[in-house]
Structure 1
Amino acid sequence: MSLTPYRTAVLPEWVDYNGHLRDAFYLLIFSHATDTLMDQLGLDEAGRARTGHTLYTLECHINYLTEVKEGETVEVRTQLLAHDGKRLHIHHALHRPGEATSLAQSEQMLMNIDTATGRSALFDAAVAQRVKQLADIQRDWPMPEYVQRLIGLPPAK
């Protein structure tokens, strides 16, 4: 199983008064990358209809590293950091195509949801197999720099 990155151009309506990608649209791009991941795991439209399952985002952290300008093409490379029977711990990295330096990074926790009950559910067997395949492919990938970071300031003195 090969993971195809999500790719898009930065649209004019995504750019703010500073001339760069508005912070909310980084999350939109990462959200579309999650949809691409879902498609590749078998939770595309047909898979969601077949299983009655979808993914919900439980938590998301974004690190904005470099300005992105209108009209640029960017891609998101996704890494599966960990998984269990119901959850995926993933990392998205935003890049210019062909470049190693990331523009932004997002760490996310996703939960498999049974849409009939609105509650968490074990992955369907076919989806679980694809998750395992992806985990096996990425097993030896290095841990991204911007994972498990905390936000905060030292206490005021």
Structure 2
Amino acid sequence: MMKLMAGLMLSLVTATAAQAAGPIGVGLILGTPVGVTGNYKLDEGHSIDLALAWRFYPGTETYLHSTYLWRFPDYYRVEEFPMLFYAGVGGRLYSTTRETNKPDTGRTYLGVRTSVGTSYTLPKAPVEFFGELALTLDLTPSTAASIGAGLGGRFYF
């Protein structure tokens, strides 16, 4: 499945490498969570991202987050590569179904999510690669904190 998705993304990149990147990015994120990701660039300094992930065995899990990001273009350079730094705040929804003999399942968690990360956009293609760290504070059904990390890529159109 991952080879198919990578091939599809590569096909899209090569087919539209000459086109200018639009404000909407769609791709994959690996880490916590593993799923699909999107980003909408409001302007050069702000965007809204989201991630959606799910798992069906054992039990069912659904994960959704959305974050308002402050973007800092050319914040730093690594050997002439312009890297974008970003930080943001948003929300997370995580839901599990009840599994047999597992008392801590079958809950829906709602929390506040903060993230920091960096991204690099290919100079001649509308493709962005990113890495981020996130801290989530669940507010319901109980208060708990968790840390997540992710690496991913998005194609912009």
How does the TM-score come out when normalised to structure 1? 0.29
How does the TM-score come out when normalised to structure 2? 0.29
Please identify which structure carries the higher helix content: 1
Please identify which structure carries the higher strand content: 2
